[in-house]
């Protein structure tokens, strides 16, 4: 899942990003409302996690402007405001769900995944050459065959599939898939590319391959 996190409190943003990244999601962070408005226009996110309290525009104003501009990405609003009237205000402004601080991270994750499934049920499967990438079930399909993907495999393949034919640096893939704070083995991208190549081989697919570019990174090639 590709998420936009709009949170101005640095510690909270860092903790949420780390937890969501460890759960296998790709997370971009904005700390100001104006930046979030532009970011959501430029990038197609699966869900948005939006704090009500921001230093410039408040989250409610950001949400209203998104909806006025036709943005239909599911939005989960975070806030310390817990009265019924405030919840109603947020939902009527266009929020799809509402979570009051403090909250359990497990509940936040479950709510985000529920919003994602709801959006995916509306037809967000992706065609990649002869393959179908099913984001709801996290599988790659080729005809009658299919291969399940782990969270990291899915996010890595999605990132490559969003830039077919483009060379993506290892550092870029590492940041987008594992997060900026990843401190594991430096060859982790190569390891997971190997996993994906193995699954493509099992699907007996022709015309789709992940090519290595020496000294740089990888690119997904779709022929035909």
Q: Which domain holds residue 147?
A: 125-222
Let me know whether 84 and 169 are in one domain. no
Q: Where are the alpha helices (DSSP H) in 49-169?
A: 59-68, 84-93, 105-120, 151-161
Predicted local confidence at residue 108, as pLDDT:
94
Predicted local confidence at residue 160, as pLDDT:
93
Predicted local confidence at residue 16, as pLDDT:
94
- Which stretches in the chain have pLDDT values below 50? 121
Q: How many separate domains does the chain show?
A: 2
Predicted local confidence at residue 125, as pLDDT:
67
CATH code of the domain in which 213 resides: 1.10.10.10
Q: Give the separation between CA 210 and CA 159, rounded to whole angstroms.
A: 12
**Residue 197 DSSP SS3:** helix
Please state the pTM of the whole predicted model: 0.57
For 33-83, the pLDDT digits (tens) are: 999 988 887 777 888 999 998 988 888 999 998 888 767 788 999 988 878
Q: Which of 120, 141, 170 is the last residue of a domain?
A: 120
Predicted local confidence at residue 67, as pLDDT:
84
């Amino acid at each position: 899942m590709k998420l936009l996190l709009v949170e101005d409190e640095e510690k909270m943003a860092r903790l949420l990003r780390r937890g969501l990244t460890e759960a296998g999601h790709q997370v971009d962070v904005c700390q100001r409302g104006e930046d979030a408005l532009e970011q959501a226009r430029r990038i197609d996110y699966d869900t948005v996690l939006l704090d009500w309290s921001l230093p410039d525009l408040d989250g409610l104003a950001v949400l209203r402007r998104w909806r006025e501009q036709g943005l239909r990405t599911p939005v989960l609003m975070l806030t310390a405001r817990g009265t019924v009237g405030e919840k109603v205000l947020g939902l009527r402004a266009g929020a799809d769900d509402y979570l009051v601080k403090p909250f359990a991270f497990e509940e936040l994750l479950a709510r985000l995944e529920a919003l994602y499934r709801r959006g995916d049920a509306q037809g967000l499967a992706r065609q990649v050459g002869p393959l179908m990438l099913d984001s709801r079930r996290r599988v790659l399909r080729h005809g009658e065959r299919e291969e399940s993907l782990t969270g990291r495999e899915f996010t890595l393949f999605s990132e490559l599939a969003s830039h077919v034919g483009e060379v993506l640096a290892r550092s870029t893939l590492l940041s987008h898939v594992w997060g900026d704070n990843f401190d594991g083995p430096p060859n982790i991208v190569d390891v997971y590319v190997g996993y994906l190549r193995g699954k493509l081989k099992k699907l007996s697919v022709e015309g789709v391959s992940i090519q290595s570019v020496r000294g740089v990174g990888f690119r997904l090639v779709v022929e035909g």
